């Protein structure tokens, strides 16, 4: 299936695009969820969707209960990829805010929002900052330096031979 990407835990709804030529009632459950995922991303949160769950059910030829299950699975998908539901909501909202700033040609605001979101991810363990310096102190530092000196001396001896 074009655009289908599956990771170890199941489909990656964020990377799947349903075929344009296919009617929504003919979508597989993966394609349906991928489209709903995009709608949620655009809306910023499942509660902000322009259509009700019943209307989405009509679009895809499934029940409102099935749409509710789809949205729950998409929340689980986000939580699996962002560790917690709070992070998933923040992720959806941050992406929506950045995209809105870009659409308004306010690139400075978009950058500022993205940097704030990155700081959130750093603070919550979602991203790791790169080390800017390495400091070894105490016995471990002394031991490391002694090993380094020994290795350097061995290197110099081997070079002379």
The pLDDT value given to residue 36: 96
Q: How many domains does the chain have?
A: 3
> Within 10 A of 87 (CB to CB), how many other CB atoms are there?
19
Question: How far apart (Å, rounded) are the C-alpha atoms in residues 46 and 134?
Answer: 44
Is the per-residue pLDDT at 6 higher than 60? no
| Same domain, yes or no: 19 and 52 | yes
Full domain range(s) for residue 146: 132-161
Tokens matching residue 93? 């909202």
| Same domain, yes or no: 28 and 44 | yes
Tokens matching residue 56? 């989405």
pLDDT tens figures, 104-153: 988 888 888 888 888 887 777 766 767 666 565 666 667 767 777 788 78
| Same domain, yes or no: 69 and 92 | no
pLDDT tens figures, 16-61: 999 999 999 999 999 999 999 999 988 888 888 999 999 999 999 9
**Sequence-distant (≥ 6) Cβ neighbours of residue 39 within 8 angstroms:** 49, 50, 51
The pLDDT value given to residue 147: 72
Using alpha carbons, list the distances in angstroms from residue 103 to 40, 147, 156.
Answer: 18, 56, 61
| Same domain, yes or no: 15 and 63 | yes
Last residue of a domain, one of 82, 114, 143: 82
Q: Which of 23, 40, 117, 49 is nearest to 75 (CA)?
A: 40
> Where does residue 4 rank: exposed (0-12), middle (13-18), buried (19+ CB within 10 A)?
middle
| Same domain, yes or no: 40 and 113 | no
| Same domain, yes or no: 141 and 111 | no
Q: Give the model's confidence band at 69: pLDDT under 50 very low, under 70 low, under 90 confident, else very high.
A: very high
| Same domain, yes or no: 22 and 45 | yes
| Same domain, yes or no: 126 and 160 | no
| Same domain, yes or no: 42 and 72 | yes
Question: How far apart (Å, rounded) are the C-alpha atoms in residues 54 and 34?
Answer: 18
The pLDDT value given to residue 51: 93
| Same domain, yes or no: 41 and 106 | no
Lowest mean pLDDT: which of 2-6, 40-44, 64-68, 84-88? 2-6
| Same domain, yes or no: 1 and 15 | yes
Is the per-residue pLDDT at 5 higher than 60? no
Question: How far apart (Å, rounded) are the C-alpha atoms in residues 119 and 98?
Answer: 15
| Same domain, yes or no: 144 and 92 | no
Last residue of a domain, one of 63, 82, 101: 82
Q: What is the pTM (predicted TM-score) of this model?
A: 0.52
In the chain, DSSP assigns E strands to: 6-7, 10-11
Q: Give the model's confidence band at 2: pLDDT under 50 very low, under 70 low, under 90 confident, else very high.
A: very low
DSSP, collapsed to helix, strand or coil, labels residue 152 as helix
Is the per-residue pLDDT at 7 higher than 70? no
């Amino acid at each position: 299936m074009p655009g289908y990407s599956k990771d170890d835990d199941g489909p990656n709804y964020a990377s799947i695009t349903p075929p344009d030529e296919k009617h929504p009632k003919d979508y597989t459950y993966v394609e349906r969820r991928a489209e709903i995922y995009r709608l949620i991303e655009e809306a910023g949160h499942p509660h902000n969707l322009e259509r009700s769950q019943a209307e989405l059910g009509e679009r895809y030829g499934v029940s409102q209960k099935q749409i509710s299950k789809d949205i729950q699975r998409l929340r689980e998908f986000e939580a699996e990829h962002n560790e917690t539901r709070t992070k998933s909501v923040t992720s959806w909202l941050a992406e929506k805010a950045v995209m809105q700033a870009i659409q308004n040609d306010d690139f400075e605001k978009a950058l500022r929002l993205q940097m704030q979101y990155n700081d959130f991810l750093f603070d919550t363990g979602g991203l790791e900052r790169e080390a800017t310096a390495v400091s070894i102190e105490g016995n471990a530092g002394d031991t490391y330096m002694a090993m380094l000196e020994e290795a350097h001396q061995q290197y110099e001896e081997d070079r002379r031979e």
